[in-house]
Structure 1
């Protein structure tokens, strides 16, 4: 079972309040910290952090249109199905290497810095953050990481060094989530064309928060 850290001292915005929800765009707050208690409180409210432009600045987001992957809506093409045979899927055997690969500054749109790596590694140590990895011939060639709270899996980032490796990790994650009891939400933050090709859809923030409240009491699937 994951270890519950000390509660956050910060007052984070609760967008279940419809009047507050109507006033805010995707970015809903600035500040606070990346302590385990703060991160868990934020995700339970439907928030997630990203670094700002200033040193040590933290921005908190809750997209007006949230990207989610319905577990029964994952699209696996025939070519991807063939590729899956070439990967071994593991869970939590290389958490920091997965995060470091996702943080590679050579990637377009890279945003993960050392503070985020250290913060989520601490959540991993406490049993809340997980990596799903694709291995090939003993080499880590793709994967993803995210935060699991009950029936919520909040996907943060993914990478690949071999064709279809990150997709294989996603297929592995979905299989694990499907096998677990209770309502589940696979959150991917924002819909992109690439994610849409895998079955990701957009839903209004209020609908996401309702699904989140239904999912949080479910037992965790990965840890």
Structure 2
């Protein structure tokens, strides 16, 4: 069953009610408070320019344990050459715009609409959304961005303008930021090759809410 959200009420159904494809609810808004409530409960928006706001909570969830990220021999060789430098939150605006405008195989248009850019930029200004930037010869050549909730980095998108830049961004995120989990949301073969695996929604939510339980 897909629930219709009321813009006047700040609430979501439990993520376990999501459809088989992960779709849980439709409607609502992209306010900071609603986005934070969503991510705190394992829910995220994903829609295109012609759709209403759609909210997903996939079960199982596709994730990467930062401690188990896989680095191929060729990628390890790239990193040893130090052709890239990295930064965190140096230019969130540039990263999200690059992610929105990158041409992607088998995909028409983008889910990173102007409203999404505005919403996540507000999250970034408040310290909830973060970016990793990859630089080569002082040029921004790759990166990723996402929302950090209770030690879980909910990855939204990544981009690469040169070979291996987005992979390098993900490895840097896993190794340089203390995280419990990287939430990839949906499966891709690329992320699977780097250690992505399925995790039940129950186990995912247990990790996501562990900080609150400990307190």
Same fold (TM over 0.5): yes
Q: Please report the RMSD computed on the Cα atoms of aligned residues, expressed in angstroms.
A: 1.9
Change beyond 3 A, Cα 1:80–1:128: same
Match of 1:63 in 2: 58
Following the alignment from structure 2 to structure 1, what is the Cα–Cα distance between the partners of residues 77 and 32?
A: 39
Change beyond 3 A, Cα 1:167–1:13: same
TM-score by length of 2: 0.87
Alignment partner for residue 87 of structure 2, among 73, 82, 90? 90
Match of 1:14 in 2: 14
| 4+ residue segments displaced more than 3 Å | 52-55, 215-218
- How does 1:25-36 map onto structure 2 within 5 Å? 25=20, 26-36=22-32
Question: Structure 1: which 5+ residue stretches go unaligned?
Answer: 1-7, 16-20, 219-223
Match of 2:4 in 1: none
Query: Aligned with 1:153: secondary structure?
Result: strand
Q: Is 1:136 aligned to residue 136 of structure 2?
A: yes
TM-score by length of 1: 0.84
Following the alignment from structure 1 to structure 2, what is the Cα–Cα distance between the partners of residues 47 and 205?
A: 11
Query: Aligned with 1:134: secondary structure?
Result: strand
Change beyond 3 A, Cα 1:163–1:40: same
Match of 1:114 in 2: 114
Structure 2 contact 24–56 (Cα < 8 Å) conserved = yes
Shift in Å, 1:150: 2.3
Following the alignment from structure 2 to structure 1, what is the Cα–Cα distance between the partners of residues 96 and 212?
A: 24
Q: Is 1:204 aligned to residue 176 of structure 2?
A: no
- How does 1:139-178 map onto structure 2 within 5 Å? 139-177=139-177
Following the alignment from structure 1 to structure 2, what is the Cα–Cα distance between the partners of residues 111 and 194?
A: 19
Structure 1 contact 50–58 (Cα < 8 Å) conserved = yes
Following the alignment from structure 1 to structure 2, what is the Cα–Cα distance between the partners of residues 154 and 199?
A: 16
Q: Deviations for 1:133-180, whole angstroms, at most 9, x for unmatched residues?
A: 110000000000000122111000000001100011111101123xx3
Q: Deviations for 1:81-119, whole angstroms, at most 9, x for unmatched residues?
A: 121221001011111111111111633433211110110
Structure 1 contact 152–216 (Cα < 8 Å) conserved = no
Query: Aligned with 2:207: secondary structure?
Result: helix
Structure 2 contact 28–53 (Cα < 8 Å) conserved = yes
The count of aligned residue pairs is 201
Following the alignment from structure 2 to structure 1, what is the Cα–Cα distance between the partners of residues 172 and 212?
A: 21
Structure 2 contact 18–57 (Cα < 8 Å) conserved = no
